């Protein structure tokens, strides 16, 4: 009886020990396989991120940024360096192409599911760079002058305010979505700047091109004040909560 129990216990212990050895051996075999699997997953993730970074929407956004020195250079050469008037049409054509990419990059990012962190960062930056550069160049050109300078100042100050607010709220992990009215504001700004870029060249085709551009600039400044206050009010709410 005792021998049977001892034999049975010994068999169980041996079985457990052999099972432990087998499991340990299995774990030793599985570790390299797991490392290979992790490397493959990291490679796939890296490739996916690279694909989204070099996607068509992001390339369109980068093209909008690349168009800025071309537009500014053409206006500078025509107005400051007394270049030929056709440079205004070149500036307008490049600007219109850049403005169209503002719609296309977001559209393709949605329908092709190619939204990325880089695109979300670059898109508003590209818009602000394009608008600010053109406004400063048009002010240097003298098309924006007198009281109309206040409209340009309001637009530039609002962009700086909203950018600073977004940066601070991003640290709090608070997202500030773009409203439909803000999109209409951007559209009004781009259309106004398009008319003003045509400037003297446009006035030779239609006499009121510059006046229409200045009127639209004031209209976009009104939209700018309203949307800026809307963003500021939403941001202040989160700032007060963070202090509490």
What is the secondary structure of 19-66 as a DSSP string? HHHHHHHHHHHHHHHHHHHHHHHHHHHHHHHHHHHTSHHHHHHHHHHH
Mean pLDDT, residues 166-195 taken together: 81
Whether residue 136 has pLDDT greater than 90 = yes
CATH number assigned to the domain comprising residue 83: 1.20.120.1760
- The 10s digit of each residue's pLDDT in 44-90 is 344 444 455 678 888 888 999 999 999 999 999 999 898 899 999 99
Same domain for 11 and 98: no
As for how many domains the chain has, the answer is 2
Same domain for 6 and 119: no
Confidence band of 138 (pLDDT split at 50, 70, 90): very high
Same domain for 120 and 214: yes
Same domain for 145 and 67: yes
- Based on its alpha-carbon atoms, the radius of gyration of the chain, rounded to whole angstroms, reads 31
Same domain for 80 and 43: no
Same domain for 195 and 110: yes
- Global confidence as pTM: 0.73
Same domain for 103 and 8: no
Same domain for 110 and 139: yes
Domain that holds residue 43: 1-53
Same domain for 133 and 230: yes
How does DSSP classify residue 146?
Answer: T
How does DSSP classify residue 138?
Answer: H
């Amino acid at each position: 009886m005792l021998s049977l129990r001892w034999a049975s216990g010994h068999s169980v212990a041996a079985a457990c020990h052999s099972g432990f050895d087998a499991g340990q051996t299995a774990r030793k075999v599985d570790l390299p396989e797991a490392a290979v699997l992790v490397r493959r997953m990291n490679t796939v993730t890296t490739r996916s991120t690279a694909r989204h970074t070099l996607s068509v929407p992001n390339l369109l956004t980068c093209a909008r940024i690349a168009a800025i020195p071309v537009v500014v250079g053409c206006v500078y050469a025509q107005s400051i360096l007394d270049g030929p008037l056709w440079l205004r049409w070149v500036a307008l054509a490049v600007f219109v192409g850049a403005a169209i990419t503002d719609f296309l990059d977001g559209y393709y990012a949605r329908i092709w599911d190619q939204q990325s962190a880089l695109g979300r960062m670059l898109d508003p930056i590209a818009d602000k760079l394009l608008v600010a550069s053109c406004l400063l160049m048009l002010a240097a050109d003298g098309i924006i002058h007198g009281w109309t300078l206040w409209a340009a100042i309001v637009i530039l100050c609002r962009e700086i305010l909203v950018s600073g607010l977004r940066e601070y709220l991003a640290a709090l992990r608070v997202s500030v979505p773009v409203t439909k009215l803000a999109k209409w504001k951007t559209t009004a700004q781009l259309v106004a700047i398009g008319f003003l870029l045509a400037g003297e060249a446009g006035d030779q085709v239609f006499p009121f091109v510059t006046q229409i551009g200045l009127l639209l600039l004031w209209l976009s400044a009104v939209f700018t004040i309203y949307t800026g206050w809307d963003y500021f009010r939403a941001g202040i709410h989160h700032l007060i909560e963070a202090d509490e």
